[in-house]
Structure formats: C-alpha cells, structure tokens
Structure 1
Amino acid sequence: MEKIKKILVVEDSPIVSKIVRHVLKGNKSVEAYYAADFAQSRKLYEEHKNELFAALVDLNLPDAPDGEVVDYMLEQKVPTIVLTGSYDDQRREKLLSKGIVDYVIKEGRYSYDYAVNLVGRLSKNQDVKVLVVDDSDTSRNHICELLKRHLYQVVSANNGIEAIKVLLENPDIKLLITDYNMPVMDGFEMVQNIRHKYEKSDLVIIGLSGEGQSNLSAKFIKNGANDFLQKPFCQEEFYCRVTSNVESLELIAQIRDAAHRDHLTGLFNRRYFFEQGEQIYSHAQSAATPLSAVVLDIDYFKSINDTHGHEAGDLVLKQFAEILDEALGRFLVARTGGEEFFALLPGLDCDKASAYIDKVRSIVASTPMDIGESEPVYVSFSAGVTAHLSTTLDDQLNIADEHLYRAKDAGRNLVIGDDAGA
C-alpha cells in the first residue's frame, strides 16, 4: 500500500485554502498541514519536519511579502511548489533559478489539481531511475540537477560506451537522456545499439542537441529515440517532456500488468502463472534448489453462492485473495479459475511450505468475510503441497492436485504434503 505523503500548505487566502482542502479531500495519498502566514509555517515545519514530503506555498504572505517563505523551505531542502496570483517572465526566471519544483498561477480549479497531482508525481519519481549522457560536465550536471529537483534517481555517463556499461549495471533505468555530439560513441550510434536490447516501451530515450541541424530530431527518432529536445531548452518544456514520456511508460506498464491480472481478485491469472512458473521451475531444476507447488481451493464455495448469492461469493473471493496476497505476495500466487488458486514457493522444501500454507489456512479460517449482510461468513480451504520436481511444471502441479483431493477426502480444511500417508 502506498505510504501517505504529508505536505505543508501555506496560503493566507481563505478561499484558496478552501479550494486546496477540497482538492486534497479527493486524494487519498496526500495529507496536509495548513498555515496562513510565514510564522505559522515555520512553527509547523519545526513540528513536522521529519515527515514533510513537500510544500505548497503562496509567494506573497502578510508577514513575508517578497517570497521569504519560498527561500525558507528551499533552505530546509523541502521540495517546494509555488502558488502565485500573478505572472511575469522576470519573476518566473527568478523562481526557477532558486530551485523550486514548479510554480502554479492561481487561475482556477485546474491549477490546484495540477499542483496536488504534482506532489503525487514527485512521489512516483522517487522510484524512477534516469541515466543522463553528455560529455559536457556543465550540461550533464545541469540536467542531473533539474531531475533531482523532481526527485528522480539519477546516474550519469560521459559518452555512449560508458552509458551502455551503466545501463547494463542498472537494469532498472527507465529513462535515458542523451546528447548527440559525443566522443567515442555519439548519441545516434548509442541509441541504435541500445535498441537491439530495449524496446521503446521498456526504456524511454530523449535525444538532446545544441547543433542547429533541422533534421536532428527526425534522425534521433528514426534511430530509436522516443523524443527530442533542442538545447538550450526551457526548464518547463524539459519537465513536460520528461513527465509525459515517463507517464506513457507507466501507462504501458499498467496495461501489461492488467493483462496479467485476474479481473476479480487482482491476483495474477492462470496464463501469467504458467509464463512465470515455467521460468521458476526451470531455474529450480538447473540449480537443484527446492521449489514447492501449491494447489488450493475454498471449501464448499458453491454453498456460499447458493445460500447468499454470487455477489456474496465474489466478495468472499476478493477478501480471500487479499489474505493470500498479504501472506504469499513475495511468491508467485494466482487465481486459476473459480475458487482454485496456485502458488509456487521457490526456496522452500515441502515441510516448510506445508507449514507456511497451514498458517495461512489458520488465518483464513479465523477471518470473518464481510458479504454485505448483518452476519459475516467464515470459510476454509484445502491445499495440496509438493516439492517433487519431475519432468514439467504441469506434472508437479498434478501431484499437488492429488494431495489436494486427499485433503478433501480427509474432511477438508487441511493441508497435505508429500510425506502424508497415502
């Protein structure tokens, strides 16, 4: 579950403060402390400085008319988003040069939505690693600094050869920003090499160049880049391009994940289980390491549907899946159909896996399931567990399935493994 981010909102206008409160009310991942002047904001900061993630501050306050609150927050290393009622280029340049995250003109509901959403974007950026490639120390350091203001993880390289090495050492890099004209290996050649391994949907590449050739953007994109930006660039355009590309990557990841999930419970589906399971199984065979397979299903599930209706049955499946995910989330677990679930537990032999699953069984049996009626229902499950690695994953699951049916024949609400009596 995503951790709630605490922010400080400094705003002297009761109307604006009310709007921000309303916007934040619909955002479950952000909570705010509110101050109406500079003095109160300093007091709140001192009280909550260890938990504050960012600040959303008005530029002009009764006791700080010249943006002193902005300077104060930046001195405390708090990512700061500025709210201002007026705009001019000189003020914009001054604010951006100070190192703020962004500024928002107080023009309407969308402006406040944008500011609050930016806090969420900063939170997500902490998990996004970016590689910056440029042979110019000045240019490279400037881009790295811009990215760090938005809380991205940043690594860098001086040329294409070094960049490929860094990329191989950091497979979690999601965005690469590269200059064109570099020694050893230029940006075009590097992008061509990278695209042999990384698709556009796995790694975003943004090309940069200070040269005036009109066809550079087309050449970069034809060679595999996702986007291009001409130097010198406007900071806001830089952030917009970076954010847009990162969010596109996240949307693709969400679509892929949705394709792997069971629509009702959110656990992995049967297809994904076997795609990943075959790899896990092959590794266990080649490395001669333990791997336990589990087949389980909810006892007497049909009677829940018959007695309380299918909507109640769906509620039970969802709550049951939440318990499985909580207990087995570090392993591969999937809903494979109806009330049946599979799990693979690499590293655990049958005794350890059976004991683990039996603890889950005890948790399920003692947990009331809310089905929307006055009285909750209680369910149990039966499971078969095996650590026998035979020829295929299917064969191992068939053995676990046989153990499951023995558990059912023995009275249900049981876990039976390899060493149980035939």
Structure 2
Amino acid sequence: MFVFELYIYYKWENRELMEKLQGIKPVGRGVFHWEEVQEVQGFALPEERCTLLITDDSRLLSVGRAGQEFSAVIYGGDLKDAEDYIDGIDQFWAGYPDRVCEKQFAKLIGNMYAHFRAHFDHNVLKAIMDSSQDMMWVKDLKGLHLGVNRKFAEVVGKTKEECCGATQNDILDITEESAFGGGESSESESGVIRHGEMMSTEELVQIGSDMKQLTTYKAPIYDPFGKIVGTTGIGHDVTELNNMGLELGILLENLPLPIILCDENFNIIRINDRFRQVTQMGAMEVANMRYLQWKKDNLIPVTEPVENKVRNFVKQEFRLIARGQEFYYVLIEQAIHDYFGNLSGYYCVYVDITMQRQYEQTILQAANTDGLTGLYNRRYFYDFVGKNAGQPMTMLYIDLDNFKQVNDEYGHARGDDVLKKSAEYICEVFPEGTVARLGGDEFAVLLLGEIDQRQLKGKCDVLDKRIRTICRKGKFFVSASIGISSTDGSQTDVDAFIHEGDVRMYEVKKQHHKEVK
C-alpha cells in the first residue's frame, strides 16, 4: 500500500552528474521518475505529486513550489540570479564536486522519504484511532494531550482541537486533581513512566453529569535515544457492561429456576437464590462448592445424557434428595461461546419436573395396580412375567374357595374385606414375590430364581391357614386353592406358563371340594 513516488525534473549542464544521480537507488519502497526539462517556457511542476527540481537555470526557479510539503529544489547556478527564490531552495550545489553533490542528493531524498513516510504513518494512525470505539489519546510528560481520537472527543463533548494542549482536568472541567478519578489517572500514568511498561487499570471518571468506569491501557512513548517523552492510552468504557452484569444478576435472582454460571472449567461464577433455596446451602457451603463434585455427590441420574451439538448443550434428568424430599430436575448445561467461537463458560439451568413425575407415577400406579387391594393388576403382572421370561421362576396361582358365598350371604362390602385381608396375608407370607390380583378372587405371586419346593409348599400351607381365619362362620369358610407352576428358564411363553398355574390351581380346588364332601 505504501509507495514513495518521487518525480525528478532536471535541467543541468553537467550531464555526467545527472547520469550518476540516476544510478542512485531509491530508499525503501521508493520509485524515481526522471524527466529532463527541454523547454523552460511553459514548464510547470505537476500538482499532487512529490517533486524534486534539479536545475542550474535560474529561470526554472519561478516554477518551484516553495514551501510545499513534498517538493524540493536543488540549484546549481549563480546565486545572484536566485536572490528572489532563495527561501524556496533546499540545496545549493554551485561549485561542489560531483561526489559531494551525490551525497547531498542521497541525503535530500532520504529526508523526503522519511517525511512522506511519517505523514503516511500519521494518517494511518489517525484512521485507526478514529475508527476505534474506544477512547484513545497521546500525552506529553506534563499531561498535556497531544492528540485524541474521534471517540474521545465525542465522549467528553469537545472537539479534538479543544482537547489538544489541555490536561485531563481541563478537558473534563475538574478543579481538583483527586476528584472522580483524576488522581487515579495521574497515578497510573506516573506508574507507566516510572516502570517504563504498559499498565492496565480500572478508573472511575466523571464526564459531565455521568460517571464512567473505564478499563485503561497505558504505555510509554520513547524517543530515538530510549528516553520516555510521553504516554499513550486506550480507555475502554465498561460502564454499560457493568450495568449489563447488574441487570443479569437481577434477572438470575428473579428467575424461578435454579441456575449456576460457570467458567469454561466449570468453576462457579454465580449461583442464584433459587438454587440456594432448593438445596438449603449456606454461605460457606456455596463459597466452597465445586460444581462437578457437588453434581456427582448429590444428583442421581435418571436418564442418559443427550447432547445437542447444533445448539451446544447437554440435557439429562436427575433425582435430587433435598430437605428430606425427592425432586426431579432436567439439567441443561448450555455452553457459552464468545464472538470468535471460543468456549468461555456454561450456564446450568435446573428445570423442576417433580410435579410432572409425580403425576406420571400416579397415572402409572393407577394403570398398573388394583384399586381395591393396592396390588399389581393383571396387565402389569403379565408384562412383568414377560420381562423375566427366560430365567428360572415359580408362579403361584391363588383362588379363594367359597368367596361367592361370602358375597351372597354377607354382601359385597364383606367380600371386599376378605379380598383386602387375603392380599395382606399373601404379601406377608411372600414378601420377596411380586403379588398381583388377576381379577375377582384370583391372585398370583411370581418368585424369581431357584425355589426350594418343600419350603414353598410349607409357605403355601401357612397362607391357606391364615386365609381360613378371615371368614369362618356356620357351615363354610374361605380357603385358598394354590396352583404352582415352575420353569428353569426354558419356558418363554407367558400365556402357557400362567395357564399351567391356572390348571394346577383347579386341580387343587377339586381336591378341596372332595375334602369338604
């Protein structure tokens, strides 16, 4: 982008010298355009170019742009002929040997190059400063502003010209050095000058009637000899960011969801009040809390984690025991990325689904249990047997004898009592079994694993005796006909397995009828 183009126009009798000068290479990224002036009359130097006029003809001095920033004139003629143009002549070569002229030429174009480069760099710096949304400034050792950017002038409400040559207090109309950050600013700049290195500070500054919080970055400026001659600074206004942080804090505290904010390593940054209420954690517990360890120690997984790679979050259901109660939460750990896509943290939101799970359990219980006895119903029992098919198990198919007579003679209320008491005795005698009411006066018990048949028969006798005590009056009593079916795991047909128990139950019932007769 940077190129120093110098247009050199010459009219000189010593052509050998001109040839030597044309052999001198440009400095840095420089390009020379040489052109000999053929006619003096009508000649004019072009505008908007860096030009150098080399002449020993005084008539050309009138076209030299005296005082122009990027133009120079070398004269080698009689000084008497150039008295009216002396102020516009940069070098006199009259009487000098070629070797000296060559050195003078090299020195002049070097200075022109440096001047042009400095002007270019100044404009680049100015463009960079004015395009920045941060305040930028340059000061001398006395604290006078040598330059400020557009944002600086905009924030303080003054022009760049008004800021240049003024101290910070003059710009901000502060009368006391220590008022509203003036002391902090001077102290930080003194530290930069004293240590000779960049420093970052937080400063409160009053600008008009507003308070601003700035994160400032200040660095020393050195001259070519290593001496500090001033400072430069960048002021990043974090007032709105702090206000946003305050607003975020208010938002987090008023959300009804437990929330934790963590950094990229899951170190806790903030915990809202709702989380503390749910967990009943004290101030010391919160201060010493390590999120991942707390999660491992207190949350019981209910489901496997589900990762959403598009939206960058992981979702999983957990069970939490807190305050002596059981809670269910869906935990969403959402990754936070900055503008460049770098991971900067997580926010962890706990969505309370306890009520939902309780409703589901109530509905599930109603669907799978018998409303009268509280035992599992036929549908659940069949499903349970099916899930355990293929392993050793034993089923007891139980039917109450003479139950119809209880209903007919004493009413259904008494019959219901008999059913509930029978269910209670079955659960007491077979606590290790899965007990269900299949319908009417029929019950079933499923025992998993290998069963000692002699012990099993003994328990069945105990159950029958206890059921016989429920309702015994007059000429009949309630008893239990128990059919037993077993499998070593080879029987996988659920219906056939249960039917086998049903058949054997009826065999026992027939035997009971014979005994009664």
Same fold (TM over 0.5): no
TM-score, length basis structure 1: 0.43
More strand, by proportion? 2
TM-score, length basis structure 2: 0.36
More helix, by proportion? 1
Q: Which structure is larger by alpha-carbon Rg, 1 or 2?
A: 2
Larger relative contact order, structure 1 or 2 (CA cutoff 8 Å, min sep 6): 1
